[in-house]
Amino acid sequence: MIGCLCIHGYTGGPYEVQPLVDYLEQRTNWMFEVPTLPGHGRKLDLKGRYYQEWIATAELAFLKLAKTCDVVYVIGFSMGGMIAAYLASKYKVDRLVLLSAAGKYISVPQMYKDITDFVAEALKGTLTDNDLFLHYQDKLKQTPFPSSIEFVKLIRFTRPFLKEVQAPVLIIQGQQDEMVPDKAAIYLEQEIPSTDKQLVFMKESKHLICHGKDREELFETVMSFLTR
């Protein structure tokens, strides 16, 4: 039996990776675990939550799969990518997929471009039609500052473990990512010592890469890597 753990990102939820999960479920008989990290989901409740809880929740989901599955794949998006890498350093992970993994943050050039676009749309009176703006506006309203400190702590905690990842790894990064810069993917490739590494850039994708314009290419690339 093959198990697949999919871990979402900071201030997100399973919906961030669900399109990829749906694609894989339709084409395999694998067992999936897609946990919601404490305080996350469509409605955020991050006050009083700590990064250790987020790691522990993903780790328990991994151990649940490992009990019944001979082979376990781990897919992590954004912050979930760093948690996924940590798990791969600690346990036997057969294949690791890192999607827009937040090894480094923020993509200042892309963020500047997005802000410029927001201003232009505001002047035209069309800003409320911009899905990206509405998405992040809602996130900011629901995210207490101490929670963002916990996010930074998690990244700092997990970074050293990158050097202990030996599993085959696929790193995918959107080149229009407004949160995580291209150099984050290059950094991951350099830090991870695995002898089986693949780095792929998606030209049209922003941070929510599983929902991006390149998603079909993304799904096929992940499927090919996991089943080769």
Distances (CA, A) of 222 to 11, 13, 198: 24, 20, 11
Q: Is the pLDDT of residue 128 over 80?
A: no
Q: Is the pLDDT of residue 111 over 50?
A: no
Which pLDDT score is estimated for 200? 98
Closest CA to 88 of 66, 68, 113: 66
Q: Cis peptide before 106, with omega less than 30 degrees from 0?
A: yes
Q: How confident is the model at residue 159 (pLDDT cuts 50, 70, 90)?
A: very high
Between residues 141 and 91, which one has the greater pLDDT?
A: 91
Which pLDDT score is estimated for 145? 78
Which pLDDT score is estimated for 137? 52
% residues pLDDT > 70 (the chain) = 83
Condensed to tens digits (0 to 9), the pLDDT of residues 180-226 reads 888 999 999 999 999 999 999 999 999 999 999 999 999 999 999 99
Alpha carbon distance 40, 9 (integer Å): 9
Which pLDDT score is estimated for 105? 57
Provide the mean pLDDT of the chain. Answer: 87
